[in-house]
Amino acid sequence: MSFPSDFLWGGAIAANQSEGAYQSDNKGLSLVDILPSGQHRIEALHHPRKALNTTYDYYPSHEAIDFYHHYPEDIKLLAEMGFKVFRTSISWARIFPKGDETTPNEEGLRFYDQLFDECLKYNMELLITINHFDTPLYLVEHYGGWRNRKLIDFYLHYAETILERYKHKVKYWLTFNEINMMLHLPFFGGGLILEEDEDHNQVKYQAAHHQLVASSLAIQSGRTINPDFEFGCMLAAGEIYPYRPHPSDVLKAQQENYEQYMFIDVQAKGVYPWFTERLFQDKNVQLSMEKGDEQILQENTVDFISFSYYSSRLTSADPEILQNETHGNAFSTLKNPHLNASEWGWQIDPTGLRITMNSLYDRYEKPLFIVENGLGAKDSINENGTIEDNERISYMRDHLVQIEKAINDGIPVIGYTSWGCIDIVSAGTGEMKKRYGFIYVDRDNQGGGSGQRIRKKSFYWYQEVIRSNGEFK
């Protein structure tokens, strides 16, 4: 046995990291549009109030790779690799520029019609994220983001609009990108600006509850719009290991794993898991639910479990050991002495992908869809004009080997969409220099570069992988 014959090979991007054209055709601003790039980025994500009141250089994110105008050429290249599926997101602020309007922006809707038609021309399935870190800025400034229950109605109206519009074009839908990001980067995840004098856990979990209800309502509507739709949840995954075999570390790792699954438990099983009451007590959270919420969650669970996987993590119950945690990105972790790391310190652990898949399948028994995975690296063009991204190839090869093993173990896997299949702006740094693509885009952080697309070595490698349905790796 190997990869199933209908395995969906492909790649993924997100609207806000690729499209550019950040104000074209009536698009409103989204929260990402006010974030700087480079060293101030993570700081701004943690202190969004400051970002709102500061003017930065917005290169390269406002222009990104100008996918908005280059998509025919880009999709053609993805088709040349043999893509069976393409994942991107719809920009909420292109459809509803402020977020709370009743009438959608026809020009925004038309753009996605054209983009999707282009993909369908090459027989690519579409996997669409309804909301990928880009809540309209107006909803952040005037409603407080997802802390406000009204966001459920705005999101639902947006979701119903696109589900209806693209019902004959899109089959696979993800309601929220990395829904657990609400706990780690709440501005990204939920447009939350947390005040110093408020209880952060209370606001974050309440906002997450609103997203969970919104997700279920969108699924409920979607199933009446087209019963063939397939809906997935989306988790920023990565098994958390104990630093030592000490039982206290093992227990801590287990509890942290459970906590990261909490939202997926709700989306896949329809109920808050057994440990939630105690967790909320410990964190002093009082979730406010409306009548009917529990039933909505219960009745509208997802069809498949999708997730991003870049790395495993490491934790300890010993505060002294924990002092050595790194906090560079969304997740903190201890350094695993058995693993190498990328230039950005993301630890590389292909076996961890298989472990994560085992955990997810064991917990939910629903098909898995790996919708993000890849190596962010600085690529350079050689004198002869080629890009030899050998590290990317071995990163992906090693991860595909583990996916194949998981499939052979008996886990149903729908597909694999590698992250940033064409170079895009990095979410964490807002820069172009952290690249994931099979296709190089000649753009730098200062807005320079021709925008030219160049096939990297990995392009030809992935083309062979797809052509042989994963035999060649």
Question: Would you tell me which residues interact with ligand BGP (CB under 6 A)?
Answer: 14, 17, 177-178, 236, 308, 372, 376, 419, 426-429, 434
Minimum Å gap between C-beta 317 and ligand BGP is 27
* Position of minimal CB gap to ligand BGP: 428
Q: Which of 100, 105, 82, 117 is nearest to 11 (CA)?
A: 82
Going by C-alpha positions, the residue among 356, 308, 311, 378 that lies closest to residue 338 is 311
Q: How far apart are CA 17 and CA 163, in angstroms?
A: 22
- Token pair, residue 428, equals 């964490």
The structure tokens 């809906």 sit at 231
Report the residue number, 37 or 429, with the smaller CB distance to ligand BGP: 429
Q: Which is nearer to ligand BGP, 372 or 404 (CB)?
A: 372
DSSP letter (8 states) at residue 326: B
Nearer to ligand BGP, 179 or 219 (CB): 179
Please tell me the number of Cα atoms within 13 Å of 127 on its side-chain side. Answer: 31
Determine if residue 157 is left, alpha or beta; phi over 0 gives left, psi from -120 to 50 gives alpha, anything else beta. Answer: alpha
- Alpha-carbon distances, residue 405 vs 10, 364, 398, 409 (angstroms): 19, 19, 11, 6
In angstroms, rounded to a whole number, what is the distance separating the alpha carbons of residues 7 and 49?
Answer: 44
User: Taking the complex as a whole, how short is the minimal distance between the CB of residue 442 and ligand BGP, in angstroms?
Assistant: 19
**CB-nearer residue toward ligand BGP: 293 or 379:** 379
Q: Letter for the amino acid at 441? A: V
Provide the greatest CA pair distance for the chain: 65
Query: Among the options 372, 388, 391, 404, which is catalytic?
Result: 372
Which residue's CB is nearer to ligand BGP, number 207 or number 424?
A: 424
Spatial distance between the Cα atoms of 368 and 302, rounded to a whole number of angstroms:
11
Which CB, 134 or 265, lies closer to ligand BGP?
134
Angle at 91 between CA 89 and CA 94, to 5 degrees: 150
Tell me, yes or no, if 372 is annotated catalytic.
yes
Active-site residue set: 372
